[in-house]
Chains A and B, each alone.
Chain A
Amino acid sequence: MPRVAYSFPEEVLEHVFSFIECDRDRGSISLVCKSWYEIERWCRRRVFVGNCYAVSPATVVKRFPKVRSMAIKGKPHFADFNLVPEGWGAYVFPWIKAMAVAYPWLQEIRLKRMVVTDDCLELIAKSFKNFAVLVLTSCEGFTTDGLAAIAANCRNLRELELRESEVEDICGHWLSHFPDSYTSLVSLNISCLGNEVNLSALERLVSRCTNLKTLRLNRAVPLDKLANLLRGAPQLVELGTGTYTAEMRPEVLANLAEAFSGCKQLKSLSGFWDVLPSYLPAVYPVCSNLTSLNLSYATIQSSDLIKLVSQCESLRRLWVLDYIEDAGLEVIAASCKDLRELRVFPSDPFGLEANVALTEQGLVSVSEGCTKLQSVLYFCRQMSNAALNTIARNRPNMTRFRLCIIEPRAPDYLTHQPLDAGFGAIVEHCKDLRRLSLSGHLTDRVFEYIGTYGKKLEMLSVAFAGETDLGLHHVLSGCDNLRKLEIRDCPFGDKALLANAAKLETMRSLWMSSCLVSYGACKLLGLKLPRLNVEVIDERGPPDSRPDSTPVEKLYIYRTVSGPRLDMPCYVWRMEDDSALRIS
């Protein structure tokens, strides 16, 4: 048999592989033959771990010795909505410890939903001489002292992004720990910090870092300081303002408008806490170049929003509160022809009645007018099958569709029927749909449609839907590419889960809370499927103290090659598999 693999010297193969960036393709390369596996693992520079418990740090470090960039995700997605109790896990320290030894040349760390302590940050600052990129999304557990350590020691730091993380804000002077000689900052995102940072230190930092492209300020930065900051960084591409209100003074407005017009490269705007509409005209000069606009915190009325958004013809991404109303969305449909992503958040999520005139019609208008629309997250109070049908037919190129009707189990408001047909139309017509979130009154029917048509679906979120196990069975048996399934408050029990147990090993994770899965079924799954970690989260006490038929509170099942985890809190029980019992 010709040894094709050895006809090319390793260096050539390495060079060829260096053009392959996608993780999945890299995985395929490594499966070709043993030598390709070897070559590939020595030249892999970026590793993405989608679930920090799916594999141990030691395994990763052993297989890929020359990594420069790590990305790790921790808690399940529903942790964003307070469904995962405190202390659940996702500690990044074991990873940092392992990498500190194995990867002295590590440059980038990106973490999502993990617990990062100050010790971790100090270890990072000490261990990696070339450290350049730290992105912490929805993380928690650290303080500004840890940030000070990063600032003081990472001479080559380029990106420091704390996106929506929970940081204990001890002292705003951590920024001053950046030495005066430090000028390599490209991206700084401190939008989640609660307290003031040292403003003069910030101004000096911004003006001496001439490569600064992204600056996202926190709410505590006052509006009258913004003009100075902008003047210090006219090359900015992405800006997040601080609080966008002040006593109305015409000179402040004029100053701000002039500063904004100086930033000719500005493409993305965010921030806008506490907006005073009279100050919005300051950003009008940059509107026509904007591709991304995040107004999620801008609690202003439809007319002011319309005045702003109607000028942003190049907009690709818009996040806005439902103050935009149907009228505003119609204007967007007419003016923002390049729109790819729309997110509309609820301004009064707990009110019983609508406080704004935002209905399904707004989304229908946008689906008609914006032909490139692919990604939607929409909170509203009423929906109809007809509207969903129209949206599906208008936008077959939709890839992410998340609809949240605020009242659980709300039916089609016109016909009082379930919304099965509407969501069915979405999955049927949008053949490239990768992510879907359901809401409203739904029966097993909708899951039948999803199982039949959702062949490319990778992530599905379900709440307050379905009638019997058949629904879950349709999804698990029909969606070939399903990776993440998260379910809450649905009447799904043991049957579908046990019948499709093998499917669970092909998925990253399954989350079920407030469903009808019994403790006995969980034990069975844990016993029979050793490559799955079946974790029962129950704050009522040990599940053994209740009959096997009692439904568990929450269930998190994920595949893993590193066996059960050892850092579980007291309310998480793992279902032992056969091998564990045999060893003990």
Chain B
Amino acid sequence: MSPTLMANQNQGESAEYLNWLLLLLITFSLLSLSLLFKVASAVYIYKDPKMAAFLFSLDQFHSLEDMGTLKLIGAPQTQSSSSSSSSIDSNNHPSRTPPPPSSPSSRVCRNRTDLSTDLRLGLSISPSSQSESPFNPTPREESFDWPPIKSILRSTLVGKQSHMIQRPSLFVKVYMEGIPIGRKLNLLAHYSYDGLVKTLGHMFRTTILCPNSQPLNSGNFHVLTYEDREGDWMMVGDVPWEMFLNTVKRLKITRADRC
């Protein structure tokens, strides 16, 4: 090989080395920057507890959404539907102490009550104006003279908000094949089969097929059946919704290949 070529090769190699060095330097600087940021934010969090709680609660809230309504999932995301109640009593929460700056590992091992504390803190960013909470658009202060509706309508609607909680209910038992412990479901909270199937799909973490859709081949799908007044087990979805409400006694989710 000619010396110039070798020199060139050497140069190329060194250039390559330089490139690698540069890459390493950049990566290192990025890493150190992020570390610095984390440290800084930790310091910042320590300084501003409200911001900390807010940021922390953001994470918690996203995980809540993934969970579905009723089921309690294990350790790190332990929060039940008391999240709604925590928003209501967020302003009444006596302790507003900030969470101590802890290492990530200890955060995961935190128990349920600490999490609910953080949630409440997060939702109490501005205790004076509840309406600023981004997650719970609480209604404006009820003005007694605006909007211009008559008191009879006003009292009926306001009464309705509370009446909604006590509206007539039709709770039926729901069993999933293979699981001995059943659930209960309020059928009158739904207005059609679609809503019912969706809710059950969330509750039992499965896909429920409609009677006349896909071919019943896979064992991972389920169908919904119900026991009627006469004691017979029928496929859900054949009769009109109102008629279904009249005759259903209990529900069962069975595997698709069984039907």
Contact = CB atoms under 8 A, between A and B. Distances in A.
A350 B149 contact: no
A164 B152 contact: yes
B163 interface: yes
Given A278-B242, A351-B137, A346 B156 contact: no
Interface stretch (A41-49, A242-250, A285-293, A560-568): A242-250
Among B141, B170, B191, residue most surrounded by chain A Cβ atoms (within 10 Å): B191
B152 A346 contact: no
A418 to B, nearest CB: 19
A408 B146 contact: yes
A337 to B, nearest CB: 28
A352 B137 contact: yes
Given A248-B245, A274-B163, A304-B191, A348 B168 contact: no
Query: DSSP class of B's interface residues: helix, strand, loop or mixed?
Result: loop
Interface string B133-166: 0000111111111111111111011001001100
Interface of B: 131, 137-154, 156-157, 160, 163-164, 167-168, 170, 188, 191-192, 242, 245-246
Nearest to B148: A81
A164 B188 CA distance: 31
B217 to A, nearest CB: 34
A577 B167 CA distance: 59
A434 B188 CA distance: 45
B145 A348 contact: no
Contact size range, A = 35 or more
B131 A299 contact: no
A349 B147 contact: yes
Given A349-B149, A352-B131, A352-B137, A248 B157 contact: no
Contacts of B153: 296-297, 345
A349 B157 contact: yes
Contact of B149 (A301, A304, A346): A346
A81 B149 CA distance: 6
27 contacts: A80-B148, A80-B150, A80-B151, A81-B149, A81-B150, A82-B145, A82-B151, A138-B150, A245-B167, A248-B246, A250-B246, A273-B156, A276-B168, A277-B242, A278-B245, A296-B153, A299-B157, A299-B164, A303-B192, A345-B149, A349-B149, A349-B157, A350-B142, A351-B139, A352-B140, A408-B146, A463-B148
A353 to B, nearest CB: 5
Among A299, A301, A408, residue most surrounded by chain B Cβ atoms (within 10 Å): A299
A350 B140 contact: yes
Given A245-B168, A273-B156, A346-B157, 16 more contacts: A82-B144, A82-B151, A248-B170, A274-B163, A276-B168, A277-B191, A278-B242, A281-B242, A299-B164, A304-B191, A345-B149, A350-B141, A351-B137, A351-B139, A404-B147, A463-B146
A406 B131 CA distance: 17
A274 B162 CA distance: 12
Nearest to A219: B156
A26 B191 CA distance: 57
Contacts of A83: 145
B37 to A, nearest CB: 35
Given A278-B242, A352-B131, A379 B147 contact: yes
B231 to A, nearest CB: 17
A353 B137 contact: yes
A349 B160 CA distance: 12
A130 interface: no
Give the top 9 A-B pairs by smallest Cβ distance, nearest first: A350-B139, A81-B148, A278-B242, A352-B137, A82-B145, A351-B139, A81-B145, A82-B144, A350-B142
Contact of A248 (B150, B160, B168): B168
B159 to A, nearest CB: 10
